A = this chain, B = another copy of it.
């Protein structure tokens, strides 16, 4: 399907990530909220993903760890705000290597015929925080994740 579009306008404390996936919205939602599916696509290909908790409800906490081949572990956690639905998922996001830095992610899922447009708006505490995330090669992780999600969705559709 479509390509991943990442928009980070100069001076804006925001990133917008959008991509259309060849799958119905319910399936895309499942891939975003079922921890067993999430572990199969979220993150760069060369890291191992372990979902420690994924409590998909208003106020529910999530945490996962990415581990590289040298055994270095990178923890992330956050909290769902509002009850996640196939229309919208709102959650905070913290990288445990940078305490005190929080972003707020709003992901909307929009069915478009046979495909689903997934769009995440990330709100940052500052433009500096936003720029730091861009500089940390966020793009590679996003593109890997989206490709892996596309592959997983194709498998699930066949399954």
Contact segment of A26-34, A100-108, A135-143:
A100-108
Contact segment of A17-25, A41-49, A86-94:
A86-94
Task: Report the copy number of this chain in the oligomer.
Answer: 2
CB within 8 Å of B: which A96-119 residues:
99-100, 102-104, 106
Give Cα A106 to B123, complex, Å: 12
Main SS at interface, chain A = strand
Q: List residues of chain B with CB within 8 A of the CB of A81.
A: 79, 92, 94, 102
Give Cα A132 to B115, complex, Å: 32
Give Cα A102 to B121, complex, Å: 12
CB within 8 Å of B: which A50-76 residues:
59, 61
Inter-subunit contact A104/B126 (CB<8 Å): no
Say how far A14's CB is from chain B's closest CB, in angstroms: 6
Inter-subunit contact A79/B82 (CB<8 Å): no
Whether A35 is near chain B, meaning CB under 8 Å from some CB there, is: no
Given contacts A14-B13, A59-B61, contact A106 B125 (CB under 8 A): yes
